[in-house]
Amino acid sequence: MALPVHLDRAPHNAHLAAWGRHATGWWACVTFRARVEGDGEPELAVAAWVPAHAVMQANGTTAGTHVDRLVLPDDRARWPAPPRWPAWYAGVWTDGPLPLPPGLTLVTGAAWRKRPPRAAL
């Protein structure tokens, strides 16, 4: 069971899948659903490694939830996705825009702003 966390970047709500120790410090493997535009579905399940300082435990969550701790290899390209992860693995996301598959862009802001207005009754 993954621990709910807050990210310091959009989409802000995520789940902590694992902690990773690397020569550069601690990292967090997080999973979340991102709203996207482009080819395909309007949401994309994403997993990525972010610096540990980018995550904070969500209010009201159980601190006793077990989260795996891994020793990460020197080569960041070899950092693992969560076991059996069925969707987009973004790899290392240090900062800046979320790495997405070609043809997709991240949708930010309130979801209601992207909906067309309702027809008058």
- 12-24 pLDDT, tens digit each: 999 999 999 999 9
pLDDT of residue 61: 63
Residue 97 lies inside a defined structural domain of this protein = yes
Residue 12 lies inside a defined structural domain of this protein = yes
Helix (H) or strand (E) holding 82: none
Phi, psi of 54 (to 5 degrees): -85, -5
15 is in which domain, residue-wise? 3-114
Summarize the confidence of residues 81-103 as an average pLDDT: 95
- Structural domain total, the chain: 1
Grade residue 114 by pLDDT with cuts at 50, 70 and 90: low
50 has pLDDT over 70: yes
Residue 86 lies inside a defined structural domain of this protein = yes
Which three-class secondary structure state does DSSP give residue 27? strand
Residue 120 lies inside a defined structural domain of this protein = no
Q: Quick one: how far is CA 35 from the chain centroid?
A: 12
Of the listed ranges 50-54, 55-59, 76-80, 101-105, the one predicted with least confidence: 55-59
**Structure-token pair, residue 113:** 């702003």
